[in-house]
Structure 1
Amino acid sequence: MGAIIAVIVIALIAVLITLTVPLVMLAQRREQRRLESLAQWATSIGWTTYAGSVEVPWTVRLPGANPRGIRCLFTGVYRDRPVSVAEYTYQTSSTSYVNGQTQVTTDSHDFVACVIHLPYTYPGIEVAARGSGSRMWRWLTGPDDTEVGIAEFDSDYRVRSTHPEAVRKIIGPAMVRAHLAGMAPNWSLHGTDLLVYWQGRMEPARVLPALDAVLRIAGLLGH
């Protein structure tokens, strides 16, 4: 009886492998076609395509900070500004125990990054909408030294900077109004690279409007 069960188990495993391999190959082909389609779109608007893993300095400001996380990179000029647009990924692993067995699950997290390369250098600064944890921390500890001094903005947005004394010079009243009106996404700036990112895969129809939003931020720096 035991031998029969073993044969059945082996047969099931063989069937599973037989079914899985074609599915994996199909997924790989679909991904390759998707990346080729993105490259064709980039070429159609005069941009340069860099396929595969490319190292750029601003991945340190993306979730996971994976220096080898760029899946594809496109560079070019948009509205007279040099830009970079990339699809980025990083992975996390979690361990669980089921029936005494250790199971490790790996999850991929995908993002799209849009970068405007500015003609001037800035200190490191990041602006992000506050979550409940950030609001509570501020309530417990008091104002940060990077706040701009406008109560509604400071309560809704967290600013981090390597040079707190420069924050109010970079984030002026016009920038504050844009954020409070919902017209500015979360962003970060370091050196000459102004960065905005969001979770998901790259969709050409979304890229140029996103770059318009980054350009809006660039035009508001110091105002």
Structure 2
Amino acid sequence: MIAYSRRRERDRRDVFQQWAMQHGWTVVPAPNVDWGSRLPGRNRRGVSLALFGAVGGYRVSVAEYSYTETHTSTSGDGMGGTTTTTSSHSHPYVVIVVHLDEPHPAISVQPRTAVSRIGQVLFGDAGPVTGDQNFDKHYRVAGDPVAVGQLVGPALRAEHLAGTVPLWALHQTELMTYQPGRIDSPYQIPNLAAPLIRAAALLRVKDQRKL
């Protein structure tokens, strides 16, 4: 079973490599990136595979990331002793990064969940920073208010409300989003990257240049 899984994974990566060669992309196993520190599970070594290339004139990276969650439980064994059971569950994600030309302050768009609304009532909140009541009702933009005002304009807010762009985080030159799952086929990559590229195009970044 293990040998079969390894062969299947090797065959899958061969398909990625062939696609990359045909489309001018690069495949890098276990790339030296720090994305894991900004993803669920905070697994710094969790990026197992990344593809680097261009979509729609933007430099793009699409990667596979995972972290493992371990649970340990203890119960009686019926004979006066205890039994300890440990189980592990892997959480896989697809990570998409659009690389901008210039670094920017860290900001992110997050859903304004019921939990965050309760926290606002109990502990206070700086309040909406966009001034768009409909947007601020559904989303919270974390980061420097000046940067938020400069980068997150009406067009981008409208796309969020329409559900056509994903939640994202901007760190230096990296605009990032992620979703559960794996890259089933490299032919998915343009469609995986398209919504984040749309967000990148709508960021009000001065002198933003395409390739």
Q: What TM-score comes out, normalization by structure 2 length?
A: 0.86
The range that moved more, 94-103 or 34-43, is: 34-43
Q: Deviations over 1:119-141 (max 9, x none)?
A: 12110011122332123223434
* 1:168-223 superposed Cα distances (whole Å, 9 cap, x missing partner): 11111111111111111101111111111111011334321221111111111128
Query: Does 2:103 match 1:121?
Result: yes
Higher normalized contact order (CA 8 Å, seq sep 6+, divided by chain length): 2
**How big is the shift at 1:110?**
0.6
Amino acid across the alignment from 2:135: F
Match of 1:62 in 2: 39
Q: Note the 1:180-219 alignment, pairs <5 A.
A: 180-203=161-184, 204-219=186-201
Is residue 25 of structure 2 the alignment partner of residue 47 of structure 1? yes
Per the alignment, in what secondary structure is the counterpart of residue 168 of structure 1? helix
RMSD, aligned α-carbons: 1.8
Who is 2:63 aligned against? 86
Which is greater in Rg?
1
Q: 1:146 to 1:33 in 2, by over 3 A?
A: farther
Residues in 1 aligned to 2:129 and 2:140: alpha-carbon distance in whole angstroms: 8
Higher mean Cα deviation, 69-78 or 29-38? Answer: 29-38
Runs of 4+ in 1 over 4 A off after TM superposition: none
Question: Which residue matches 2:209?
Answer: none
Which residue of 118, 130, 137 maps to 1:136?
A: 118
What are the ranges of 5 or more consecutive residues in structure 1 without an aligned counterpart? Answer: 1-22
Shift of 1:146: 6.1
Unaligned 5+ runs, structure 2: 206-211
CA distance in 2, matches of 1:201, 1:211: 14
Count of residue correspondences: 199
1:146, 1:164 within 8 Å by CA — same for their partners in 2? no
Any conservation in 1 of the 2:107–2:148 contact (CA below 8 Å)?
Answer: yes
Deviates more, 1:193-202 or 1:38-47: 38-47
Give 1 or 2: higher helix fraction. 1
* Alignment partners' CA distance in 2, 1:119 and 1:184: 20
Q: From 81, 97, 100, give the equivalent of 2:74.
A: 97
Q: Cα gap change, 1:164/1:146 in structure 2, threshold over 3 Å: closer, same or farther?
A: farther
Does the residue aligned with 1:196 lie in a helix, a strand or coil?
A: strand
Distance in 2 (CA, whole Å) between partners of 1:146 and 1:125 is 14
What CA distance in whole angstroms lies between the structure 1 residues aligned with 2:124 and 2:131?
13
